[in-house]
Amino acid sequence: MAGLFQRLRAPFSSGKIASVVETLKLIIPQQDAPARRLIGFRNGVLDTATGTFSPHHKSHWLRTLCDVDFTPPVEGETLETHAPHFWRWLDRAAGGKPEKRDVILAALFMVLANRYDWQLFLEVTGPGGSGKSILAEIATMLAGEDNATSATIETLESPRERAALIGFSLIRLPDQEKWSGDGAGLKAITGGDAVSVDPKYKDAYSTHIPAVILAVNNNPMRFTDRSGGVSRRRVILHFPEQIAPEERDPQLKNKIARELAVIVRQLMQKFSDPMTARTLLQSQQNSDEALSIKRDADPAFDFCGYLEALPDPDGMYIGNANIIPRQPRLYLYHAYLAYMEAHGYRNTLSLTMFGKGLPAMLKEYGLSYEKRRKNQGIQTNLTLREESNADWLPKCDDPIAK
């Protein structure tokens, strides 16, 4: 502003400049938030809701754009042929498995279409250098730079810090350290519940945060919630292959950005029925891959993988910690304690928490849980799988095994 006065050779003071600025605030239109459905390119704007491409207009209020041109479709367009860099990354991340490729594409479509209403969140795990950060970058391109923000899991849990998330359609949780908690805020946001927001110097209020959440971790998050509220929303994508340093392309993000138009078109074409993408993500929730990751992260969940269900409640009894000596082949809680001891875990669940968590954990394995009260205690329809003997059950000559 001072430079303008100088160019006009007009006298000015700090007070006069402040008055001009305050006057401009009154007459200049207030900047609106950019529409969530718009992705800006150098040569125009793509509406992801309709698939139409139009010239830039000030009414779009875009603040950033992809520094590439939007290219028109060509006959016979495919990802493999017309987005080769994206395709190579996708195929490598999926381990060459067509089913895994489809799940990753479904996750990207969820971001593109802003389907927060599916009440799911994405968690990408794997070693460093496995392509996780590239997925986060592609998701950001699909959501639009203006519509994406980075946060931590603690941001989701804190009413004060949630204020920074308002107005965004993609919330990235990049490079989360090993984390453990109940995930109450994450559960509420993805479940479509109103959450409290307490911004500085303003009154607190409640609001919905309509955003897709994408977590990227070397180690999977460990949730202490046993109600099933997190597990039915969580979609785990595991990238197991660590790319050798000499094979990594530092320009891969920019190369994929130039293929963005093809990627968007192919996603919208592949998932013209959006429920197809949702079904793929839901099938991934209880896939062998996802169960394996959750077993590695949660010892109680891993223990449930050693159980099998009988048709009737004629199996093991629940038991309690006061029954001495322990009988892990007869009492379920004793078996859990024996498993924890054999693996060197110290923080065991109380009998109450163990009992409350069993139904939801077993449901993820596709097992139904039944029980009945008898004179000897509460009997269940559960028994131990054969591999328990070799993996962690005490041997028969061990006093606590009887």
**174: Cα within 13 Å, side-chain hemisphere:** 15
* pLDDT interval class at 219 (50, 70, 90): confident
53 three-state secondary structure: strand
Are 39 and 66 in contact by the 8 Å Cβ rule? The answer is yes
Q: By C-alpha distance, which of 317, 295, 314, 315 is closest to 304?
A: 295
Is 50 exceeded by the pLDDT of residue 397? no
| Residue ranges of E strands in 242-376 | 307-309, 371-374
Q: For the chain, which residues make up each domain, given as ranges?
A: 1-29, 79-296, 298-401
Between 170 and 26, name the one with better pLDDT: 170
pLDDT of residue 177: 67
Q: Which residues on neighbouring strands pair with residue 236, listed in sequence order? A: 123
Are 110 and 212 in contact by the 8 Å Cβ rule? The answer is yes
CATH no. of 298-401: 1.10.10.10
Q: By C-alpha distance, which of 165, 260, 263, 252 is closest to 214?
A: 165
Q: What is the mean pLDDT of residues 64-79?
A: 84
pLDDT of residue 5: 83
Between 168 and 38, name the one with better pLDDT: 168
Give me the residue label for tokens 């197991």: 240
- Angle in degrees, 0-180, between the axes of helices 98-112 and 274-285, rounded to the nearest 10: 120
Are 186 and 262 in contact by the 8 Å Cβ rule? The answer is no
Q: Please state, in angstroms and rounded to a whole number, the distance separating the CA atoms of residues 154 and 61.
A: 31
* pLDDT interval class at 88 (50, 70, 90): very high
Q: pLDDT of 300-321, one tens digit each? A: 999 999 999 999 999 999 999 9
Q: What is the pTM of this model?
A: 0.83
Q: In the structure encoding, which two tokens stand for residue 195, read together?
A: 């959450």
| Residue ranges of E strands in 82-226 | 121-125, 148-150, 170-176, 180-181, 195-197, 205-207, 212-217, 222-223
Q: What is the DSSP letter of 331?
A: B
Is 50 exceeded by the pLDDT of residue 399? no
Residue 236: phi and psi, rounded to 5, are: -95, 130
Are 370 and 381 in contact by the 8 Å Cβ rule? The answer is yes
Q: What is the mean pLDDT of residues 354-376?
A: 94
Class of domain 79-296: alpha beta
